[in-house]
Structure 1
């Protein structure tokens, strides 16, 4: 993952409510003919073997992404009149042949199977958030009866959810309605983009009310689904909206914002061979100081940083400090850090503690974590969720032990870099089962392990 900005995960790096850290990417320029051509193929297709393949937009003109319910996925690049697929988010050819009919035709040929684009009941809307006008879209499976309905809550990304979130097709193709919206300052919504969880949760609560209004009698069990930063926002929104009946969180944290850097620093040191308790305690002093700097926009923390630098800068582990921002702060001048902070005017809710909300929220929650998540290390969150379930809170939690952020499987290349190959098998199916039925049926979901189940 890119560590070139002051923040990697708190600020936007394409982390999504859509279920994959790399699955949704900033929208391509609409005026680009290649982008327009690719956009007409987006949607869910039912294949002749009854599988559903989802086709979604990516950041690049003429580039799409396919996904199956089992989590397998590939990037589709249009070149010389044909589409070429590469495995996951790698550049490795996967041999999957994909072709489309004309835009109006709605046909696909995927890996030797023919398919037709599914038609959903779609309603475009605008609604009021907390002081902003928001663009939204309701997508329901065709029919007249009630269906479960989920509102997609954004991660930290700064692009249009309406244009980019693929679950608005994959979930309705599997019997679950979706309400998707552009958060403030993105896409067709007004206001300024920010990371103020209190305002964002107000907007999400308004989105759920709008979803229920539009769906009318078709709205069955209704709740929120949020990934990454959405793991802070979705439960907070549910605590504000009495009509919310459930919350699904993917690869989020049951800890505050500063915990990301703190836990990443510890993970990085362990990986570098400095995992003893004494060294980790010293490193915690450093991350506490850099956390003061980050959370105060550079107004506090410099004396504390000078003190720990004097104590530890000569230690062999000092150069291994990375984290969300600690490594960048200690390796740049005060002026450079302040200049970078001045660019990041997004009102991050540094003070937010999720535990009071999680302890009091009456609606059932499903949390799905990655055991190898380098963006939001999950060890502390696992402990907290298990503890909350033990206290009788209605929280079910599951772990994909080898999954990275986004619940992505990966391989490590010769340079030691992670190459993400697919969404972990079972991740989508687990969400769908829980949204539909309010529980998991005991069947295996890939390599997932249950941490705790609500009683």
Structure 2
């Protein structure tokens, strides 16, 4: 899914196992790992707080720091052993300050967060396995992250990507946050991204095959060390993860800010939501729906037909202020004549994909997490459909985080009505970890559950 609010020393060798606190080179001639690579991981302060450091694809001299409360900040290299992040006066939740380290062999780093003194943060012991595995004829690049202090047989989830076209390995802050709480994670670069082969696609069925292959690789690499294995899909991954769960016969399913409906419906719901947020009434929403219906037909043709009919219908409303506000996934682009742009952003999407049929097959426990104010994938229609499934006896837990947008990102509202994203919603990662571990939910997240939580 495309957000329209904000154009929003591990040596790689096949199935090589390394400890996150131990980095070696394969030979005397091997190049030393970059700071970004060797610092990737999770750290704990003496007070028990957790922060992760992850890489940022395309930004080689930066690290993303994220704490378990949802705050994050981008730290930029400022010397041989130093990274810095500036204070954002408009966002006090942003992590800022200075990070120093004593080389890749060190088992800790020093953070001086803004407003605090410098403190040591000890690297958490993680077993990290880098691997290459096959999905059909395509080789994919993967990474298994296992907590070494989690006790007996922790749960494991395979991360299912959204629509992003960037690498995932070593860059998923949520995977390292989960590992810090005793949950193992398997990540992989989706086909056509990072170090994986193949061509980037948004074909849900093909992507589900890749996830099923990743589940098989995760099972093989973690055999005897983990318990329940599930899949967790976010955003567009909410279409892929249920299908992958059915293919791979996993034990649980997590979906974050996904959609039960077709991609065409999602575009329509997004336009409806955006117009209502701008203060337009149902009469205008109804007029816009006549256009998004036609835009959906254009999308379903792979953007090859239907444009004359759409533009003819739009001319009826020419000059009306709301028309220029229509956005969605592709409707706004089509109304502006940006057909090639819309096609490029949605390669091989199955526009009439029947996610309801897939969910009917599943009898495993499910957790669905929503942003109450999601401007990209409005949650109300999907929650209504989930409640119908719960009424038929499906084991489905639903959580809704108020005052949050797509990605479960908290936000404040500027004077002009636009949103400024500040952090991930407090309790989000705690909910994911506790639910996967089948622990009682904390009071902080229990009040986010819609109706009685499904039996764990």
TM-score category by the smaller chain? Answer: 0.7 to 0.9
1:229 is aligned to 2:230: no
Shift of 1:84: 3.0
Check whether the contact 2:177–2:429 (CA below 8 A) recurs between aligned residues: no
Q: Provide the C-alpha distance between the structure 1 equivalents of 2:293 and 2:140, rounded to a whole number of angstroms.
A: 37
Higher RCO structure (Cα 8 Å, ≥6 apart): 1
1:406 to 2:412 alignment: no
Indicate conservation of the 8 Å contact 2:70/2:424, yes or no.
yes
Following TM superposition, by how much is the alpha carbon of 1:198 offset from its aligned partner in structure 2, in angstroms? 0.2
**Does structure 2 conserve the Cα–Cα contact (< 8 Å) formed by 1:89 and 1:420?**
no
Structure 1: runs of 5+ lacking an equivalent: 1-6, 15-32
2:294 counterpart residue number: 289
Report the CA distance shift for 1:317/1:210 in structure 2 as closer, same or farther (over 3 A): same
SS of equivalent residue, structure 1 residue 218: coil
Aligned partners of 2:167 and 2:314: how far apart in 1? 42
Distance 2:278 2:426 in 1: 30
- After superposition, residues 21-420 of structure 1 pair within 5 angstroms as 36-58=34-56, 59-79=58-78, 82-86=82-86, 96-110=97-111, 111=113, 112-142=118-148, 145-242=152-249, 244-276=250-282, 278-332=283-337, 336-337=338-339, 339-341=340-342, 343-344=344-345, 346-420=347-421
Instruction: Give the drift of 1:50.
Output: 1.9
Larger deviation: 190-199 or 262-271? 262-271
Q: Sort the Cα spacing of 1:341 and 1:174 in 2 relative to 1 into closer, same or farther, 3 A.
A: closer
CA distance in 2, matches of 1:318, 1:235: 36
Which whole-Å CA distance do the structure 2 matches of 1:94 and 1:68 have between them?
A: 8
TM-superposition CA deviations, 1:398-440 (whole Å, max 9, x none):
1002111110111223454322111101100000011011x64
Say whether the 8 Å CA contact 1:227–1:252 is kept in structure 2. Answer: yes
Distance 1:135 1:380, change over 3 A: same
After superposing the two structures, state which structure 1 stretch, 343-352 or 133-142, moved more. 343-352
Q: 387-396 vs 311-320, which deviates more?
A: 311-320
Aligned-residue CA RMSD (Å): 2.8
Deviation at 1:165, TM superposition (A): 1.5
Structure 1 94/162 Cα, relative in aligned 2: closer, same or farther at 3 Å? closer
**TM-score, normalised with respect to structure 2:** 0.85
The answer for the alignment partner of 1:424 in structure 2 is 425
- 5+ residue gaps, structure 2: 9-30
User: Any conservation in 1 of the 2:153–2:227 contact (CA below 8 Å)?
Assistant: yes
- Tell me the distance in 1 between the aligned counterparts of 2:7 and 2:352: 21
Aligned residues between the structures:
423
Q: CA deviation at 1:272?
A: 2.5
CA deviation after TM superposition for structure 1 residue 343, in Å: 4.0
SS in 2 for 1:162: coil
Please list the CA deviations of residues 247-286 of structure 1 after superposition, one character each: whole Å capped at 9, or x if unmatched: 111111112111222112112211222122x322221110
Q: Could you state the TM-score of these two structures normalised by the residue count of structure 1?
A: 0.85
User: In structure 2, how many angstroms separate the alpha carbons of the residues matched to 1:318 and 1:286?
Assistant: 10
State the distance in 2 between where 1:440 and 1:313 align.
55
How far does residue 299 in structure 1 lie from its aligned partner after superposition?
Answer: 2.2
Any idea what SS the aligned residue of 1:147 has?
A: coil
CA displacement 1:9-66 (0-9 Å, x = unmatched): 59x967xxxxxxxxxxxxxxxxxx9x93333222111211122211112242322121
Question: Aligned partners of 2:362 and 2:74: how far apart in 1?
Answer: 39
Question: 1:329 & 1:370 partners in 2: Cα distance?
Answer: 27
Counterpart contact for 1:88–1:420, Cα < 8 Å: no
Per-residue deviation at 1:355? Answer: 0.9
Contact 2:54 2:170 in 1 (8 A): no
CA contact (8 A) 1:72 1:88 kept: no
